[in-house]
Amino acid sequence: MTGHAAMRPEIALSWKRSALSGLEPSSTPTGDSCSDLDESSRLLQAARPVLDEMEQQIQGTGFCVLLADRDCRIVARLFDGPRLERLIDGAGAVLGSRFGEDCVGTTALGTPMEVRRGVVIHGEEHYLERFKDLSCYGHPIVHPVTRRVEGILDMTGVASRANPLFAPFLARAAGDIERRLLEGSRVSQQRLVDAFQRVSPQNQMAVTAIGEDILLSNRVALDLLQVSDHATLRGLAADLRPEQSKTVRIQLSSGEPALVRADRVAGTDGGAVFVVRPDRRTSNPIRRGKSPSSSVVERSRSELSRLRGTRDPVVISGEPGTGRTTAVRDLAGDRSLVCMDATAIALDGAEAWIDRLLSLAAGPSAVLVIEEVQLLPESMLPLVVKMLAADAGPRIVMTSSPLGDLPPGVAGLVGRCPGQVVLPPLRQRSREFADIAQGILDSVRPGLRLTASALDALIARDWPGNIAELSVVLQAAAGRRSSANIAVADLPDQYRTPTRVSRLAGRERAERQAIVDALQECGGNKVHAAAALGISRSTLYVRIRALDITV
């Protein structure tokens, strides 16, 4: 066996990844295969004429050609005779079998998928013993528009050294498939253009078509819709099946209500045509058409506005970073304000903290704020209850974590506040996201703007740190920008969410975040991440690629 120290660097790294996946050189592939291959997939449609030509070219060479899809599942095979076919069958490379590194270790199918470039694997460089009589070369097939690896083209033979002619031969064939993929992409775009043009033009009716890499709008749509509205429309189409339509009532970024008909167009990679009509009725809008997140935001603003004119005790709750302190200042207005942070109890000691609290309560300030009340020990709660009930003294305003997360005693304390303001997390404010982000940019460096793609990428995040986290990200992006527009490339690496991810439905987005969290907690080890998630390694790899997770 080839010594590890003598290996080429790319092979040594592949062996390391194979070992981390739980494989040993003596391992036998599990035979995880799939019989229901999609014969109409875009990859196979683009590759079929190229494979037909290659089948003639490999006759008499003693080699075979394998094609794998983006999940590293073998979807097509070509052979120079039945003897080689039996040998490849015995190695487990049958139609539908997965040949990712997590399943079979270092091969010219799984390794090019990992490194996104052509790789030659000589006999002894295979990780599993059963492949060491074979040598092969694999070349990725990259979509010319999306730059996503759509598949791997592999040439394999019985030899100790791969033929040096493999590389140019397969590179040329992969290039032919890529060009046909581009033609298919153009057909997809043309279908969306045709659907857009079939909509009858009418005054005051905005029409827009949104696809993988295309956005069409009539003049009314250009005037009516903003970048954040496009993100909302993408979300509407994410749950639709091809040729399915639905009509919903939404609120545009401008605050104007609108009625939207979304029509999913078949054969366009999720593209849809939207007809948007401003809804200027004087009657109250139908509540079911209004998103829960927007109603929470409106209730918070309305409650804050109402409470400014009262002296009632108030609690402002929400996740860290949602703007609780900003809401406190907004509520206090121009009145004097002093703060006590419960996080300081651990540093100052309970007795010193209480003495300062009582001193401030007896002072001249109009508003006394107790931040992070969920951290108050049980012994302090009766004192705060008395302060809430007092007729004299400053107005008491408290901030807390989400109400459902409060300890029972603190929940009882909060329940004594007539005024309660709930601040929604940033992930539930997609329709306001553009305005929030622009407000932060204006405060960092006036004149900067987010491109549509960058905004889509940011909206797709879950934002556990909420507005505070967004502020840090935008400040970093502002420092590395190459122009007055902040593009995806200007964002920190982990925030460059693929465009397709921004259109995932809620369930898929939650699944994606769970996988990302598991991988981060396990230091990128997919074996441990799969165990933590309770799924197999092969399932994890499939979902990683299906959900465009970069690892």
Provide the sign of the torsion angle of the four alpha carbons 427, 431, 435, 438, taken in this order.
Answer: positive
127: tokens are: 């990780």
3-state secondary structure of 173: helix
**Residue 501 near residue 495, CB atoms below 8 Å:** no
Residue 2 has pLDDT above 50, yes or no: no
Distance CA 56, CA 78 (A): 10
Q: How far apart (Å, rounded) are the C-alpha atoms in residues 349 and 548? A: 49
Strand partners, 263: 245, 273
Gap between the Cα atoms of 336 and 393, Å rounded: 13
Residue 513 C-beta-side C-alpha neighbours within 13 Å: 15
Q: In this predicted structure, which of 177-181, 323-327, 347-351, 425-429 has the lowest mean pLDDT?
A: 425-429
Give dist(CA 232, CA 392) in Å, integer. 48
Please report which helix (H) or strand (E) contains residue 333, including its range. none
Contact (CB, 8 A) for 273 and 263 = yes
In the numeric block, which tokens belong to residue 376?
Answer: 């108050």
> For position 271, what pLDDT does the model report?
85
Distance between CA atoms of residues 127 and 159, nearest Å: 16
- Residue 284 pLDDT greater than 50, yes or no: no
CATH dotted code for 199-280: 3.30.450.310
Does residue 503 carry a pLDDT above 60? no
pLDDT exceeds cutoff 60 at 289? no
What is the per-residue pLDDT for 27?
Answer: 84
Domain 4-185 architecture: 2-Layer Sandwich (3.30)
pLDDT on residue 408: 92
Mean pLDDT for the stretch of residues 361-370: 92
Query: What gap in Å lies between CA 177 and CA 141, rounded to an integer?
Result: 7
Task: Find, among 478, 475, 487, the residue nearest to 450 by Cα.
Answer: 487
Q: How confident is the model at residue 314 (pLDDT cuts 50, 70, 90)?
A: very high
Tell me which of 1.10.3720.10, 3.30.70.1560, 3.40.640.10, 3.40.50.300 is the CATH number of domain 293-426.
Answer: 3.40.50.300
Q: Kindly report the backbone phi and psi dihedral angles of residue 338, in degrees, each rounded to the nearest multiple of 5, phi listed first.
A: -130, 150
Burial (0-12, 13-18, 19+ Cβ within 10 Å), 437: buried
Q: Per CATH, is 429-546 categorized as 1.10.8.60?
A: yes
CATH 3.40.50.300 maps onto the chain at: 293-426
Give span(s): CATH 1.10.8.60, the chain. Answer: 429-546
42-57 vs 166-198: helix axis angle to the nearest 10?
150
> Across 37-51, 87-101, 265-279, which has the greatest mean pLDDT?
87-101
C-alpha separations of 119 from 109, 138, 171, 302 in Å: 9, 5, 11, 61
List where CATH 3.30.450.310 sits in the chain: 199-280
Which residues have CB under 8 Å from 526's CB, separation 6+?
20, 21, 102, 519, 537, 540, 541, 544, 551
One-letter amino acid of 437: A
Within the chain, all domains assigned CATH 3.30.450.40 are found at 4-185
